[in-house]
Amino acid sequence: MNQQVPDSRDPSLLSEERYRLLVEAVTDYAIYMLDPNGFVSSWNRGAQRYKGYTRQEILGQHFSRFYTEQDKATGLPARALRTAREEGRFEQEGWRVRKDGTLMWAHVVIDPIRNEDGVLLGYAKITRDITERKATEDALRQSEERFRLLVQGVHDYAIYMLDPEGRVANWNTGAQRFKGYEEEEIVGQHFSRFYTEEDRLSRLPWRALETAAREGRFEQEGWRIRKDGTRFWAHVIIDAIRDKDGKLIGFGKVTRDVTERRAAQEALEEARARFVQAQKMEAIGQLTGGVAHDFNNLLAVVLGNLDLARKKLPPDPKLQQLIENSIQAAERGATLTRRMLAFARRQDLEAAPVDVPTLVRDMADLLQRSIGPSITIDTQFPLRLAPALADANQLELALLNLTVNARDAMPEGGAIIISGREAELALGNKAGLRPGRYVCLSVKDSGEGMDEQTLARSIEPFFTTKGVGKGTGLGLSMIHGFADQSGGGLVLESTKGKGTTAEIWLPIAQVAKPEDTEDEPAGPAASPNQKKLTILVVDDDSLVLMNTTAMLEDLGHEVFEANSGEQALRILRRQHRVDLVITDQLMPGMTGLQLAEEVQRISAGVPIILATGYADLQNEPSMPVTRLSKPFLQRDLARAVAASVAGEPAQVLAFRTK
């Protein structure tokens, strides 16, 4: 029987052998020994793998051959051994040289080896090739550097980081440009300093961070404050930044100054609002003009019949008073239609040179009676003021309207200043008028004034702040329409609590020749010797046609009636020559002007009277035409007939009384 012979080797020797075998087997690290002078005394497989030398090639060689020429020139190998010897360890990363001359980036640790008495026996050197890791780190570093340069190079955006509490962590040139702070001034400061006082009081900066942290993103536009205290309109985005474990490590904040874009957008919206308002006003103007036209026809019938009835009724004072009251009511209706047509810019205007100071002086008593004793009127005019080109009666009505509006704005009393001046307006003036010379008639009060919203709507038709039953809302619309149709404009300036100034701008009259505007006496006595005429009357409204015929026959004329242009032409072709044609303008199929042209082809030289409530004709007549405004009384009709037959076409306007 065989007995096992125990291993008689020293256990310590066995331990050292196992350690040597372990070191030899390691291939991911270069592990080798140096003697006290730096010569290689051992070599493992990892060292051979990394460095390329076999054991036979490297043993006894100095380890400095692994260093670059630059490192050897600086004495790095000797310093490494000295550091390890004196400090107990040397650790470094750097370039090392393989046998084939290629470089690797190595992590190096050198430890001194001493015996029990502390005598230096040599050095243990461990090297690892981390070239790939360094390449990755270099690529990351380069990427970060490029990103940093990119962020720093952006001038149109403020891009910076905040820590989780909202303190500024870095600062780019765009942020410096927008906000005015240098990097050393702002890093470490809380970003809430960029917000307005109102936003800080409402905790907006903190709510923005809370939203970004909760939802991942916060986006808003609003006012922000620069270092110098000025404001700019900013578009702001705040993104939450988290690490790979989801922990919040801060916020990325991007801000852009969009003040110019906001201003352009507001200008566009304002222009769009003006366009919509213009469309609305045009639509309401067309509606108003159409209503006024039909209402004028009704009033023409009522007034004409009342006028004729007044002449034929017995001299009963009570009955005459009833007729007069009815006529006055109808005339008030005619005044309302004139306001509506003034708003629609379709009323007839008798433009002539007007001495504005004289007009105001002649109205002084009327104006004072209209506003009452608690309000004073002061007039301020230069010694010489050029005449304005306007319809005096419409200007009087406009001035009365403005004065009454001023009175209503001062329920506790106050002062009204009526003034005038000449001005040369350039292109782009506040009134939006063509360049030229104008007279400005101004009415200023010390009343309540209007806020911006009320001022913006002040000339809208039917808009009023006077309460139900206290105003039609057509006053300023009428004045605006009158001034615009006169070649001028209406300018309103008002501040809440500081009163209102209304300015009527009118062109200066080229010829300041006064004209007699006295009304002729009513009734046929206006032309007592006028001969009997054969007159063709054309109107699509049978009531107006009948009324006009009755007034003409009462004046002693022979009348033919037609309810359309086509019927009128048939009558002309059938009858002998007529002395005069009186036609409405707006008729289906053929307008009054179109009929007038056809009449001239059939019977050249026949006078034409165009009876209409509109001042705006699509085309100017190619022949002399007398204009007669609706509604009209018999005396107005008689004046128009006389002027037309006399070969002096004119514009005859009804109710031209002071």
The encoded tokens of residue 251 equal 């916020």
Q: Residue 513 pLDDT more than 80?
A: no
The encoded tokens of residue 498 equal 């500081």
The CATH number of domain 356-507 is 3.30.565.10: yes
The encoded tokens of residue 352 equal 């002539």
- What is the mean pLDDT of the segment spanning 295-322? 76
| Cα first-last separation, the chain | 158
CATH architecture of 269-341: Orthogonal Bundle (1.10)
Q: What CA–CA distance (Å, rounded) separates 349 from 391?
A: 6
Q: Residue 471 pLDDT more than 50?
A: no
User: 3-class SS at 503?
Assistant: strand
Average pLDDT of the chain, as a whole number = 80
- Which residues contact residue 401 at a Cβ distance below 8 angstroms, ignoring those fewer than 6 apart? 475, 476, 478, 479
The encoded tokens of residue 196 equal 């307005």
72 burial level (CB within 10 Å; 0-12, 13-18, 19+): middle
Q: Residue 519 pLDDT more than 50?
A: no
- Proportion of the chain above pLDDT 90, given as a percent: 29
Q: For residue range 152-173, what is the model confidence (pLDDT) as tens digits?
A: 555 677 888 899 999 998 888 8
528 falls in which pLDDT band (50, 70, 90)? very low
- What is the mean pLDDT of the segment spanning 299-327? 77
Q: For residue range 344-395, what is the model confidence (pLDDT) as tens digits?
A: 545 556 678 999 999 898 888 878 887 888 888 898 999 899 999 988 878 8
Instruction: Classify domain 524-652 by CATH number.
Output: 3.40.50.2300
User: 3-class SS at 139?
Assistant: helix
Q: What pLDDT sits at residue 652?
A: 57
Instruction: Classify domain 154-257 by CATH number.
Output: 3.30.450.20
The CATH number of domain 11-131 is 3.30.450.20: yes
- What is the mean pLDDT of the segment spanning 304-319? 77
The Cα-based distances of 585 to 560, 618, 630, 632 in angstroms read 18, 10, 11, 15
**Is the pTM above the cut of 0.95?**
no
- What is the mean pLDDT of the segment spanning 580-595? 88
Kindly list the strands in the beta sheet with 90-97, ordered across the sheet, starting from the edge strand earlier in the chain: 30-34, 120-129, 103-114, 90-97
Q: For residue range 486-503, what is the model confidence (pLDDT) as tens digits?
A: 888 888 888 888 888 989
- What is the mean pLDDT of the segment spanning 616-620? 54
Q: What CA–CA distance (Å, rounded) separates 113 from 92?
A: 19
Q: Residue 199 pLDDT more than 90?
A: yes
Indicate the domain borders of the chain: 11-131, 154-257, 269-341, 356-507, 524-652
User: 3-class SS at 172?
Assistant: coil
- Number of alpha carbons in the 13 Å side-chain half-sphere of residue 246: 1
Q: What is the CA radius of gyration of the chain?
A: 51
C-alpha 421: how far from chain center: 33
Q: What pLDDT sits at residue 421?
A: 92
392 neighbors 398 (Cβ within 8 angstroms): no
Which residue has 């009320």 as its token pair? 454
Q: What pLDDT sits at residue 64?
A: 92
Q: What CA–CA distance (Å, rounded) separates 161 from 194?
A: 14
Domains 11-131 and 154-257 share a fold: yes
Q: For residue range 223-240, what is the model confidence (pLDDT) as tens digits?
A: 999 999 999 999 999 999
Q: What is the DSSP string of 509-563?
A: PS-------PPPPSSGGGSTTPPP-EEEEE-S-HHHHHHHHHHHHHTT-EEEEES
Q: For residue range 317-327, what is the model confidence (pLDDT) as tens digits?
A: 777 777 777 77
